[in-house]
Amino acid sequence: MQLTRRRLMATMTGAALAAGVAGTSVAKDMPYNLKPGKPYAGTQVNILSVVTPQFDGLMLRDKEFTDLTGIKTKWTFIPFTALQEKVSAVGVAADGSFDVVNYLDSWGPPNSHWLVPLNDKLARDGISMDRYPAAFAKSASFQGKVLGFPLRAHAMLMFYRKDIFGKLGLAAPKSWDDVIAASKKIRASGEKIEPLALYYHNDGNRQNLFIWLNYLWSAGADVFDKQFKPTWATEAGLKATEDYIALHTSLKATNPASLSFVEQDARQSFMQGKSAMIPVWWWAYSSMINPKSSVLKADQVAFTGLPTYQGRSVTYAISMPFSISKHSKNQEASWEFLKWLSNPKMDKANATERKVAGKTIINNVVTHKVNLQDPEVNAANANIQMAAWGSLKNSDIMPQIPEWTEVGDILSAAIAKAAAGGDVRKLMTDAAARTEKILKRAGYYK
């Protein structure tokens, strides 16, 4: 049958409209704000990531991402102890072989010059950082620029041996005074276990500042004032530091090996039944009750919020964001990957589903507000997310300045020397003087 020109044009217009409607439908149906039409199909996104079961779970799910976008992924996993050096080397070399990099939040400022700001992309795709707790969102930003998504982020909790506390008639420690009292009772009981595992060692990752910050902030002191003058050497800051150090020196509340412990050593001490309490990141709970890594059973381990000091608790929160390298040739494909990787649905699934592609994944980390308060997520993880949510309501992060690595190393060395018996006030005052010289040289003040 022959078509008139008018009928042909009408038919073509109708087809175009139908195609447009279909295209709109596809765009609306694409999950996670992904672009329709697979515009980056065939691209490979290379990811540098820390070793953790959480990210194993995400990696094992990324077939969905490839099916949706046609983008392939290649993960390279690095142990945390070697990650900082690797991330720095990638940045210094302007190495574009990694499109997406994972790093500790306090490493962000000195590396920010080679990380892609995401503000415009977030606005374009309607993604708000308000979906994260304030401390988590803050940890992935620098100077008003969002540098990444805080996909591995942690609140601090106090874990304790529920069976031993029950046997000795001890309640969950709500304050550091409670911790000290419990330590004395555990020692007096004759139980073959040390009361408290802390980590005072100067390990190069500044872990011995984690609990110190809780003391400092809760005392109303801070690391810096608004002019970036060190304020830990004020009377309030010095008293808080003395009390933190005294847990190990004069009060003898700690495992004696805490002087040489890094965080991992302290966790192992708790998991091997050698210490009865440990303040540590909430993610550790899954390993504490995992028979492959711990001698403890779930009914022996309990947790509560980080103890108060002087009636307050301001906790330290931390994150490990994923960011896009400016040296990447696949920045838009990498953004598609980050949108998929960071979505709340994935966050929830990764903390509730224990089998992924036939592999057991034990992970309790979620970072979205909605998932921290989700009944199903909490039911799958002994309500640890709600405890973390409570901790995160009054949290902060380490200072976000490029010089923090250098300053933090000075503080970490001072804390280690103080725990070994050094003069707390002199060490911390000297650390403040050295820090002022560094920041003056960097142009913070004259």
Residue 283's CATH number = 3.40.190.10
Question: Residue 157 in contact with residue 388, Cβ under 8 Å?
Answer: yes
Nearest-Å Rg of the Cα atoms of the chain is 25
Do 407 and 386 fall within a single domain? no
Statement: the pTM of the whole predicted model exceeds 0.85: yes
Confidence (pLDDT) at 28: 54
Do 340 and 363 fall within a single domain? yes
Is 285 inside a domain boundary?
Answer: yes
Is 12 inside a domain boundary?
Answer: no
Do 148 and 160 fall within a single domain? no
Confidence (pLDDT) at 203: 84
Query: In whole angstroms, how far apart are CA 362 and each of 54, 86, 289, 419?
Result: 8, 27, 10, 35
Q: For residue 280, give its domain range.
A: 156-316+403-441
Interatomic CA distance for residues 327 and 26, integer angstroms: 32
Do 414 and 270 fall within a single domain? yes
Do 208 and 355 fall within a single domain? no
Is 293 inside a domain boundary?
Answer: yes
Do 345 and 368 fall within a single domain? yes
Confidence (pLDDT) at 205: 81
The one-digit pLDDT tens for each residue of the chain (446 residues) are: 333 333 334 433 343 333 333 333 344 578 999 999 999 999 999 999 999 999 999 999 999 999 999 999 999 999 998 999 999 999 999 989 999 999 999 999 999 999 999 999 999 999 999 999 999 999 999 999 999 999 999 999 999 999 999 999 999 999 999 999 999 999 999 999 999 999 999 988 899 999 999 999 999 999 999 999 999 999 999 999 999 999 999 999 999 999 999 999 999 999 999 999 999 999 999 899 999 999 999 999 999 999 999 999 999 999 999 999 999 999 999 999 999 999 999 999 999 999 999 999 989 999 999 999 999 999 999 999 999 999 999 999 999 999 998 999 999 999 999 999 999 999 999 999 999 999 999 999 98
Do 182 and 271 fall within a single domain? yes
Number of domains composing the chain: 2
Do 297 and 432 fall within a single domain? yes
Is 17 inside a domain boundary?
Answer: no
Question: Residue 199 in contact with residue 207, Cβ under 8 Å?
Answer: yes
Do 141 and 215 fall within a single domain? no
Do 196 and 267 fall within a single domain? yes
Confidence (pLDDT) at 10: 40
Do 351 and 371 fall within a single domain? yes
Strand residues in 21-142 grouped as ranges (E): 44-50, 72-78, 100-102, 141-142
* 44-50 β-sheet, strand order: 72-78, 44-50, 100-102, 318-324, 149-154
Interatomic CA distance for residues 287 and 265, integer angstroms: 13
Is 374 inside a domain boundary?
Answer: yes
Amino acid at 103: Y
Confidence (pLDDT) at 355: 93
CB atoms near residue 108 (< 10 Å): 24
Is 63 inside a domain boundary?
Answer: yes
Is 62 inside a domain boundary?
Answer: yes
Do 36 and 132 fall within a single domain? yes
Is 4 inside a domain boundary?
Answer: no
